[in-house]
Amino acid sequence: MFREQGEVYLAAHSNVKGNISGQAGVAVGKHVAVIANGSYIDRGGESSNNLFRQQLVEAGLGYFTKIGKDKRQVLEVYGGYGLGSSTEVDRRATTIGMEPVETRAMDFDKIFVQVNYSSTRKQKLNLFGKRRELNYGTAIRASRVGMTSFLINDLESPKEEAFFFEPLFFTRMELHKGLQLQYTNGFNFNVLENDYLKAGNAVFTLGVTYNFGGKTYRK
């Protein structure tokens, strides 16, 4: 959530489902910013009936501005493009161990539009003997995701596309100047009915964000 030209944003998040993600952004103009995201999912173990791996990278360009009487709110709008791949294996237990029943491999691309809103609490929070800044907000994303290739047991299969609607809500607490702890929760809905390309549903992550640069942090 940029406030000034020259700000740099870095973040890293993870959750209990094996999803690791990283984000970076730079406010290249008074109201213009570029962002990049990457994520990796590795779910399932040696005894699991289902293995799932996915990699995704994306980048976007957007507009940001401060709003409200005290300029404590930030509004951002981004559009971007991403590429990814995933592999999912359904397995069953046999006398010689876990054997694959069906393997699905997919490459995909995506186009997204995202609107972010955040507000900084006017009064700081007293916690652990220090007054800490607290802000909160929401990010609403609409994405079109389409398969560029789809294999089931190494055989070409009909491709699918999906239109996802993803509202997310986040809370950030200042740990140190520019460094914040962030909790995110939200949902992911697919507008279309698909056999394979489906929404991941609930989203819960915990991570840290770091902002530096810009007029705000040079005072």
201/74: higher pLDDT? 74
Query: What's CA 163's distance to the chain center, in Å?
Result: 16
**pLDDT greater than 50 at residue 218:** no
**DSSP element (H, E) containing 156:** strand 155-156
pLDDT value at residue 162: 96
The alpha-carbon radius of gyration of the chain (Å, integer) is: 20
- Within-domain flag for 76: yes
Number of domains observed in the structure of the chain: 1
What single-letter amino acid sits at 71? K
Percentage of residues of the chain with pLDDT beyond 90 = 66
- Within-domain flag for 3: no
Q: 178: pLDDT confidence band, cut at 50, 70 and 90?
A: confident
pLDDT value at residue 129: 67
For residue 184, give the CATH number of its domain.
Answer: 2.40.128
At 3-50, the pLDDT tens digits run: 899 999 999 999 887 789 999 999 999 999 999 999 999 988 777 888
pLDDT value at residue 131: 76
Distance CA 134, CA 172 (A): 6
At 115-134, the pLDDT tens digits run: 999 988 766 777 666 778 88
- Within-domain flag for 204: yes
DSSP of 22-34 = EEEEEE-SSSEEE
**pLDDT greater than 50 at residue 217:** no
177: tokens are: 């100047």
- Within-domain flag for 110: yes
179: tokens are: 């460094």
Say if residues 44 and 50 touch (Cβ distance below 8 Å): yes
Query: What's CA 141's distance to the chain center, in Å?
Result: 10
Q: 215: pLDDT confidence band, cut at 50, 70 and 90?
A: low
- Within-domain flag for 1: no
In the DSSP assignment, the letter for residue 18 is S
At 129-147, the pLDDT tens digits run: 677 888 889 999 999 999 9
- Within-domain flag for 195: yes
Distance CA 67, CA 117 (A): 10
- Within-domain flag for 126: yes
- Within-domain flag for 90: yes
pLDDT value at residue 149: 97
What domain range is 113 assigned to?
8-217
Range with the largest mean pLDDT of 94-108, 141-155, 172-186: 141-155
pLDDT value at residue 33: 97
